[in-house]
Structure 1
């Protein structure tokens, strides 16, 4: 089966997959955006599709929390941003008549809480705080530091670092053999500067600067998915879950919820998928299968008879996912000064922000966004312990939190049974792993943000792009037959 390029997938998608029709029976494992996108396009073109979803909801990590909050408040537990570069996401939002609002991450009142004091992100505040910057860094604000150590870095690597169809050239490939930490230190950044910079790209490195590939990081920082290039950032009006719900409505009756897959086997004629239905093992036969769940969850599926290559098996076992915990505290009112606050702290909770800056009503939701080892610590706590721990921490940053607290909840992605991690962490050497991750294996195709053409996860559009690729792969087998 030939490997479709990123450009080919986009062209075929934009033209409506001309000539793509089929009669094969397809099993899709997972009703996240990748599984939903693949099922939706295949059904429209005549394929007989069955979607097996372990949870009782669609969307996977496109997950909006609406309970236990009141007054119509909600918060995002997973994907939350639509950038100008989110081509596939924007296509479906238009197709499903879903609207966009400005992202909550734009125009934030961003600053730091370090050493029990507040420090603004501007040059004057940082200079006055005397945080340990070296002589060349003194007098620079947080965004000035980003220009110096990040923007100038990827600009020097243009156009290689920003090719439309991602494939690392020999010039930039060496950066895949070093970590973000090593790359920043190599540019002369002090430890204090790195501490100030980390929250500006924490969401895409997961607090793992000493593990994340510098090449993957630079690729992301040079594009529209980087916080430093947030012009035009948006969110889905009404909540991110509006998108998977729209897909699910159009696939009504084809998605079977509460059906975790426990085994997959294939031979020359088809694929047999074993799943649980109320605790009873059941099987479904199909011509092909789209495996659209994170590799961290795939590791719990019996693939001993799936006839996977050694390279695919190794990639499934090797791929790492970021540890992310998101804790939400509903407050009866806004008791802090400022609007749309976002604070990077030196406390274990790390990042605190107003998760409802544009939602109506007096009540607010404060979020602690925690990654890396801190997230693994919170994951080991019970729900009650986690909420109380974060409440105590936020009280020290924003006095009055305890007095105004009403209810709390959290999502620890490491302990989410059918995820076991957030989005992918592209470690050193990730670019060599990417082709193997997405490569079909016989009658089994692979979709999801981890199986995209980009070296970074966490974007809905990458998941949807991978779905479009699987449609072309499956269609090509009809032609071959």
Structure 2
């Protein structure tokens, strides 16, 4: 490749970008030029400390994406101003404690009255071990973590909305189902039904495995297994353990929540899971301690205007101060798209249309302060799946063996959540309490101090995550035209946030999106430096 008289080869150009902007800028430039694939996970971001010298960025939104951006930009030498409409940082990262206020559109304000030490993560409540970006920031920010017990084989699955059936303990559902399937497959093998698919050697190896996998007897029949729990516990002397009788296959198949036995196989839900000690908002607090730039709360964005030379953001002080304008060279907008659509902007029509076209999902949580009656049933953390409007019952992983805990009696999302959120709050509470009462009879009266969070009513969110085409709730394989458009810069404005990642409901999505945006800005600033020196890449 020949250099132009006033230019550089690509290699030379990338070298100059690396010199000005460090590895991250060079890497981002290579991605932009199609020379490298987009990274699959968040690695350590290392922007040089002088990259942003003389440059300014206004960050709109103080959720995890906005905080990640502000934290890294500050360390790269940019002048940073962050505007957050709420009186707290964190966005959906929101932990409720005794005295917290829950304001929802069209509802009376709730004041949380949990016992001392109890808390409810109203938004995200767990961190998968493969979310290395978020876990990395927890380490950097000094946020202590503990294990979140995401699954308990002592918990239940049960179709709460149906008239028939009874709760089935998870360990019994998992192992009885496995036993029956193993028996059926063994029968098919012995009858020659799979002779066209398996060699004689394959069959010889598979049958012993099925016997072990399903805990079948000598005749390859499933008659129950101690894996499913004990009808009689093993004890002293000659008190032998005796396994339960298996649940009939027909009864298992009739239970609408049978697929929940696969919950632990979902990669996002596999052990080990983590949670910050003391509540998820400890992450936002860690960012707040570390960031020295302006973090302006109660700053509701009213208008965004960009020109060839910069961005001006008009905002209202919700605490009673005068309206103000923040000006910067660039803006990173992490505001949820359904909220952004209502803000006065001079974005191009296709961008405005893309923002306005994205619907948002529904999600509800209801928590109670309660004595730990579930622990007397050997349920320590984990989830009972109940379906219906309330979705599940989630048991706390913290404070094990103490007197009281925060029991999440409802976590439902999607179509059912929309109708449920339309009910009066007292009715939502009564339904959630009733489901727990049928799952754990006699304990519903012990549950007190309920709090309801309908995310479709939470100001400055009005929904938990976007309902992108192709998304299955909190995860998806997103490739919508609006999604693609909003993932690219619009002049000096960059859109960022979990909603522009493949994990719209996870904090890792916010981290990944923010880091991608920072790489784009680093490339742009580095290119600007190179161009001022009369350098540009060869074609």
CA-atom RMSD in angstroms: 3.3
Q: After superposition, what is the alpha-carbon deviation per residue over 1:341-400, rounded to whole angstroms, capped at 9, x for unaligned? A: 522114421211213454462112221111122221232234444323322332222223
More divergent stretch after superposition (93-102 vs 338-347): 338-347
The SS at the match of 2:288 is: helix
CA distance in 2, matches of 1:253, 1:125: 52
The SS at the match of 1:23 is: coil
Is 1:451 paired with 2:490?
no
Question: Would you say the 8 A contact 2:42–2:132 is kept in 1?
Answer: no
Q: After superposition, what is the alpha-carbon deviation per residue over 1:226-281, rounded to whole angstroms, capped at 9, x for unaligned? A: x2xx1322222222111111101222561111111122121211112121113654
CA distance in 2, matches of 1:351, 1:421: 19
Question: Would you say the 8 A contact 2:88–2:297 is kept in 1?
Answer: yes
Is 1:390 paired with 2:432?
yes
Residue 443 of structure 1, CA deviation = 0.6
More divergent stretch after superposition (248-257 vs 10-19): 10-19
Residue 464 of structure 1, CA deviation = 1.1
More divergent stretch after superposition (373-382 vs 435-444): 373-382
Question: Would you say the 8 A contact 2:74–2:293 is kept in 1?
Answer: no
Q: After superposition, what is the alpha-carbon deviation per residue over 1:390-414, rounded to whole angstroms, capped at 9, x for unaligned? A: 2233222222333212211121111
* TM-score, length-scaled by structure 1: 0.74
Cα distance change on mapping 1:400 and 1:243 into 2, 3 Å: same
CA distance in 1, matches of 2:182, 2:356: 41
Q: Which of 375, 386, 390 is 1:345 aligned to?
A: 386
| Corresponding residue of 2:227 | none
CA distance in 2, matches of 1:332, 1:191: 34
Question: Would you say the 8 A contact 1:127–1:138 is kept in 2?
Answer: no
Cα distance change on mapping 1:7 and 1:400 into 2, 3 Å: farther
Q: After superposition, what is the alpha-carbon deviation per residue over 1:70-99, rounded to whole angstroms, capped at 9, x for unaligned? A: 130112121222223212112111111222
Is 1:270 paired with 2:335?
no
Cα distance change on mapping 1:261 and 1:200 into 2, 3 Å: farther
* TM-score, length-scaled by structure 2: 0.67
| Corresponding residue of 2:221 | none
CA distance in 2, matches of 1:117, 1:191: 13
Cα distance change on mapping 1:345 and 1:275 into 2, 3 Å: same
CA distance in 1, matches of 2:130, 2:452: 30
How many residue pairs match? The answer is 400
Cα distance change on mapping 1:360 and 1:263 into 2, 3 Å: farther
More divergent stretch after superposition (413-422 vs 326-335): 326-335
CA distance in 2, matches of 1:12, 1:357: 28
Mapping 1:246-395, distance limit 5 Å: 246-252=286-292, 254-278=294-318, 280-303=322-345, 305=346, 307-308=347-348, 310=350, 312-334=351-373, 337-340=377-380, 342-356=383-397, 358-359=399-400, 361-367=402-408, 368-395=410-437
The SS at the match of 1:290 is: strand
Question: Would you say the 8 A contact 1:102–1:234 is kept in 2?
Answer: yes
Residue 120 of structure 1, CA deviation = 2.8
CA distance in 2, matches of 1:237, 1:7: 36
| Corresponding residue of 1:431 | 479
More divergent stretch after superposition (25-34 vs 467-476): 467-476
Cα distance change on mapping 1:103 and 1:275 into 2, 3 Å: same
The SS at the match of 2:377 is: coil
The SS at the match of 1:37 is: helix
Mapping 1:236-251, distance limit 5 Å: 236-251=276-291
More divergent stretch after superposition (27-36 vs 282-291): 282-291
The SS at the match of 1:321 is: coil
Q: After superposition, what is the alpha-carbon deviation per residue over 1:307-336, rounded to whole angstroms, capped at 9, x for unaligned? A: 2351x3343233343311010011144266
Q: After superposition, what is the alpha-carbon deviation per residue over 1:122-170, rounded to whole angstroms, capped at 9, x for unaligned? A: 5668969xxxx9x979979xxxxxxxxxxxxxxxxxxxxxxxxxxxxxx
CA distance in 2, matches of 1:20, 1:97: 26
Residue 296 of structure 1, CA deviation = 2.2
Is 1:21 paired with 2:49?
no
CA distance in 1, matches of 2:40, 2:364: 34
Cα distance change on mapping 1:378 and 1:71 into 2, 3 Å: same
Structure with bigger gyration radius? 2
The SS at the match of 1:275 is: strand
CA distance in 2, matches of 1:123, 1:360: 25
The SS at the match of 2:158 is: strand
Question: Would you say the 8 A contact 1:123–1:139 is kept in 2?
Answer: no
Residue 38 of structure 1, CA deviation = 0.3
Cα distance change on mapping 1:12 and 1:382 into 2, 3 Å: closer
Unaligned runs of 5+ in 1: 141-189, 203-219
CA distance in 1, matches of 2:461, 2:514: 18
CA distance in 2, matches of 1:12, 1:122: 35
Cα distance change on mapping 1:315 and 1:322 into 2, 3 Å: same
Is 1:469 paired with 2:499?
no
Cα distance change on mapping 1:290 and 1:327 into 2, 3 Å: same
CA distance in 2, matches of 1:333, 1:480: 59
Residue 201 of structure 1, CA deviation = 5.8
